[in-house]
Amino acid sequence: MSRRSLLMPILAVALLTAFNEPDEGIMDVFDNFSASNSVASRCRPEGSVYKNFVSNYQLVSQSAALYLKQKTPTFSDAFISAVLTHRYESIDAKVAQVIAQEGCDGLKIRPVMKQFEALAVMDPANRKRKRPPQN
């Protein structure tokens, strides 16, 4: 294993810790989208609502990456992408554990599914709700 691959997780954890300040709104939004994505990908079939959610999640992910780049301009885009991936994977692992214990109808999962539905109809650029697609 290369020295760089050994340092990456350490740097990612340090960077994640540094970005857990109260004013880190976009990172909280990214975390909410990540949890919702993790639950929805396990507990709901793909459909037009999921496609709309993914579109919104991509916008939020881009905003989070831009935010991190502005806070740490010396870090490469690849490193910032790795940090966001690590952050998602950490959330995803926790969600997977809860679903394994409670199932998709569990008390901890239901609010995240409601959050998913709200985030799917949100317009992140304008902060307005979109009408859900008619099937």
Given the structure tokens 């502005």, which residue do they identify? 70
- Domain span at residue 96 reads 24-127
Neighbouring C-alpha atoms within 13 Å toward the C-beta of 24: 18
Helices (H), 19-109: 25-43, 48-71, 77-102
Q: Does residue 6 lie within any of the structural domains?
A: no
User: Is position 105 within any domain?
Assistant: yes
Mean pLDDT on 46-69: 89
Q: Is residue 12 part of a domain?
A: no
In a domain, residue 88? The reply is: yes
Cα angle value 101/105/111 (rounded, 5°): 105
pLDDT at position 101, please? 96
Q: Give the residue, 68 or 46, on which the prediction is more confident.
A: 68
Q: Considering only CA atoms, which of 109, 113, 111 is closest in space to residue 53?
A: 113
Looking at the 3D structure of the chain, how many domains does it have?
A: 1
Whether 4 shows a pLDDT value over 50: the answer reads no
Amino acid in the structure at residue 60: V
